[in-house]
Each structure stands twice: as C-alpha cells, then as structure tokens.
Amino acid sequence: MSLQQHTGGPSKPLVEVGQEVKLGQKIADGSSFISAALHASVAGKVVEIAPHPHPAGGEVTAIVIENDGSDEWAEGIGPKGSLESLSPEQIREIVKEAGIVGLGGAAFPTHVKINPPPDKPIEYLVLNGCECEAYLTTDHRLMIERTEDIAFGGKALAKALGVKKVIVGVERNKPEAIAAFQEIAARDDLFQVESLEVKYPQGAEKQLVYCLLGREVPSRGLPADVGVVVQNVATAAAVADAINKGWPLIKRVITVSGTGVQEPKNVEVRVGTPVKDAIEFAGGYNGTPGKVLMGGPMTGIAVHTTEVPVMKGTSGIIVVPREDVKQYDPSPCIRCGRCVDACPAYLMPVTIANFAEKGMLQEADQYGAMDCIECGCCTYVCPAKRFLLHWIQLAKHQLLALKRQNG
C-alpha cells in the first residue's frame, strides 16, 4: 500500500514491520494539510515498509501487508449515526479519518475540498458523473447500482459544505443514470440533474463547472473560487460508506478493459491490489500485452510493471495488445493550428511545446503552460504526431521545480 496515493504530501506510517494489523486499521496518517490517511485493506502482518514501484514511475515507500485471509475488521468500525445527528465538523472528521480522496483520478484529499476557507462561500456542490475518459465505465455503473448511496454521500457533503443545491452532471449517453437521479431529484429539492453533451474532457473539473454554471474558474484557482465544489460520484459513494458503515477507503471500483484482456469488466478491488491480480481477475491477458495503462487512454500512465498496486485514484486498468500499440515518429509541425482549436483551456499548445523543447521556460510560462489541464487533446489531433503534451508537462514540472527553488 503506497504512501503516495493522493495529491499532496505522502502519508506517515503508523505501523512497524512485524506488527499485526486488522482490516480497516489506520496504518498511515496525513503528514501535512493536503494529505490523507491510509488504512489496511486486508488483515495480516506488516512484512515490509520499503520503496516499491509506483505507477508514476520510480519507487515510493509502501507498506506491504501479508494477507492472513481472516478479513477481521479493526475495532471501532461501525455506523457513525444518522446524517441528522452529525454536525458539519463531524462529517469532515469522518471523511478525513476514512482517508477519502477524489476517486475520479486526481485523488485530491476530500476533507480538504469540503473545508474551504471562510472567505470563499460555497453555493453549489457538483457531483461529477461524467466519465473522465473513454473505456472507463465505473462511474456509469456506480450511478445505476448505487444511486441511493451516491445521493446520501452527496447530502452529507452538502451538509459539510453548507450548500443548498447539489447538481448532478451526467453525460447524455447515460440515460439510465440520468433517470435514476431524476427520481432522487423528484423527491428531494436538494438535487438537480443536468444532462451534458458527450465530449472529452467534459469530466475535467473546471470545464464541468463552466458547462453547468457558466462560471470560469480563475487561472491557478479552484472551483471554490467561484463558489463551487466538485466531487466525483464514486467519492460520494465512499462518503456514504464511511458514514453508514464506518468503512475507511480500502476498496474501489475499477474498469479492467482494453482488447488486451480476456473478459473486460468492472471490478471492486481493494486498494493495494497488484495490477497483475486485477488483470488476472479479468481473465488474464488476451495475446501479448503491449501497454498496461492505469487510468484512461488519454491521461493514463503506461506502467512499466504490473507489480504496481491499485491506488485510491486508479479508475481503470487498460491493456493494449502489443500489435495495437502504435509508436509514432514525430514530423515537423505544419502549423495547422488544430491543437489551438482543440485546447479546452484555450492555449496555443504548439507554441508552449516549442518553447519547452528549447528550454525557454519563461516564455512557456507566459503562454500559459501552467494552465494546461493535461487532457491530451492537442497531442491526439496533431497530424504530425508531435509529443506536445509531453513537452508541456516537462515545462510544468520544471517551472514548479523552479518555483520551489526560489521559494
């Protein structure tokens, strides 16, 4: 179980090698304001606390637990009481103690999101039901199978935030999910359902807020700056579990898909499950795998080993067979401007990428490199097959490093 499951500082281990842990026991705690707690997803013995392959590349300290198969719950796991009996502070505390992070992919700690500074009044909670990418269908299934839980979680989050309106944004190609939430909205004024155009990246937080409310989140700001908090529907379901059952975030639903697996399916897996086990569960490889992606085809990470564990923020595992992996040889830019037309942040990707390629960081910054949401649209449309996003990401990393250096 990696100590870096979320956006922010890594978690601090609370256990030692050799110690017995129970299912759901807190084994690491948040280290800083933006960080999250981590809980054992199996009962057993801690066998190792050491660097372990991380999906983002390289190695990050992880706690390795040997499953004793007993699934014996830790003490104190149980319902936290009715929503009416809980105060907003208590809800925030439950969410924090459960180690819940955004399950859409970015894995931003949820308790931070629902605790905005007092000078930023929040008017709306948006439940994001737009699948963040093609291939992934977990949000869709959750919305149909766990509608009530999502609504409950939404209510709890709304109470924590003190908002009077929860907007559920669902893409138009999911009529069943829309119908399910319309039923909820019909009996509860708190909810409002909006069907949205099917397009990528509709699930991107800032773009979603703009589509739903016409509010533009300022550069480098958060939706809270325009009075909105966005939560993924799966996160809302996790909040419901934390309150109703007392479960910390130890499992999640992921899509295992792609033509490189035998039986593509959505599976509920425990956080920390090695990717290879999840693939095995979906019938194993179909042919020789070429790429194994954690996340979707547009933003997912191509992992170098299937030893990496499923993270809290892992929405899917996609296996691309070797024969389907295309490797591109970029040719010179012909200045067609498609990347400019495609960019949902209204950037000039080619210009930023060119600056980045030449190491002209300040110029890349001036052209808005930091406003890139890394959706990959520019690179997708590029007829010259240039690695635009790759260069822009590099510029962003270097700019951030520079900023840290200069304090």
- Show contacts with other proteins in window 273-302 (CB under 8 A): 276, 279-280, 284-285, 288-293, 297-302
Nearer to other proteins, 33 or 328 (CB): 328
CB of 337 to other proteins, least distance (A): 3
- Return the closest-CA partner of residue 116 out of 22, 33, 219: 33
The least distance separating other proteins from the CB of residue 165, rounded to whole angstroms, comes to 12
Which residue lies nearer to other proteins by CB, 194 or 225?
A: 225
Least distance CB 38 / other proteins (angstroms): 26
Residues between 386 and 405 with contacts to other proteins, criterion CB under 8 A: 387, 389-390, 393
**Is 194 one of the binding residues for other proteins (CB under 8 A)?**
no
Nearest-approach distance from CB 31 to other proteins, in angstroms: 28
* CA atoms 272, 277, 279, 282: torsion sign: negative
- Which residues in 58-97 contact other proteins (CB under 8 A)? none
Site string for other proteins, 319-338 (x = CB under 8 A): -x-x--xxxx--xxxxxxx-
CA distances (Å), origin 53, targets 97, 108, 309, 380: 26, 21, 8, 28
Q: Between 45 and 276, whose beta carbon lies closer to other proteins? A: 276
Q: Within 13 Å, how many C-alpha atoms sit on residue 15's CB side?
A: 27
Count of residues for the chain? 407
**Single residue of 38, 250, 344, 395 touching other proteins by CB under 8 A:** 344
Q: How far is the CB of 200 from other proteins (least distance, A)?
A: 10
- Please tell me whether residue 304 binds other proteins under the rule CB under 8 A: yes
Which C-beta is closer to other proteins: that of 32 or that of 305? 305
Q: Which of 32, 47, 383, 402 binds other proteins (CB under 8 A)?
A: 383
Whether 246 contacts 73, CB under 8 Å: no
Q: What is the total count of residues that contact other proteins (CB under 8 A)? A: 77
Subset of residues 107 to 136 that bind other proteins, contact rule: CB under 8 A: 123, 134
Cα 136-139-144 angle, rounded to 5 deg = 125
Neighbours of 257 (CB within 10 A): 23
**Between 167 and 238, CB nearer to other proteins:** 167
Are 101 and 36 contacting, i.e. CB atoms less than 8 angstroms apart?
yes
Which lies closer to other proteins via its Cβ, residue 240 or residue 293? 293
Burial 376-394 (b: 16+ CB within 10 A, else e): bbbbebbebebebbebbbb
Q: Is residue 240 classed as helix, strand or coil in its secondary structure? A: helix
Q: Which residues contact 291 (CB under 8 A, 6 or more apart)?
A: 302, 318, 319, 320, 325
In the bound state with other proteins, the residue whose beta carbon lies nearer, of 73 and 380, is 380
In what order do the strands lie in the sheet containing 59-67? 20-21, 44-53, 59-67
DSSP letters for 282-326:
TT-BSS-EEEEEES-TTT-EE-S-TTSBPPTT--EEEEEEGGG--
Map the footprint of other proteins across residues 213-252, applying CB under 8 A. Answer: 213-221, 225-227
Tell whether residue 347 is a contact of other proteins (CB under 8 A): yes
How big is the chain by its Cα radius of gyration, in Å?
Answer: 21
- When the beta carbons of 325 and 400 are compared against other proteins, the nearer one is 325
Among 14, 381, 398, 399, binds other proteins (CB under 8 A): 381
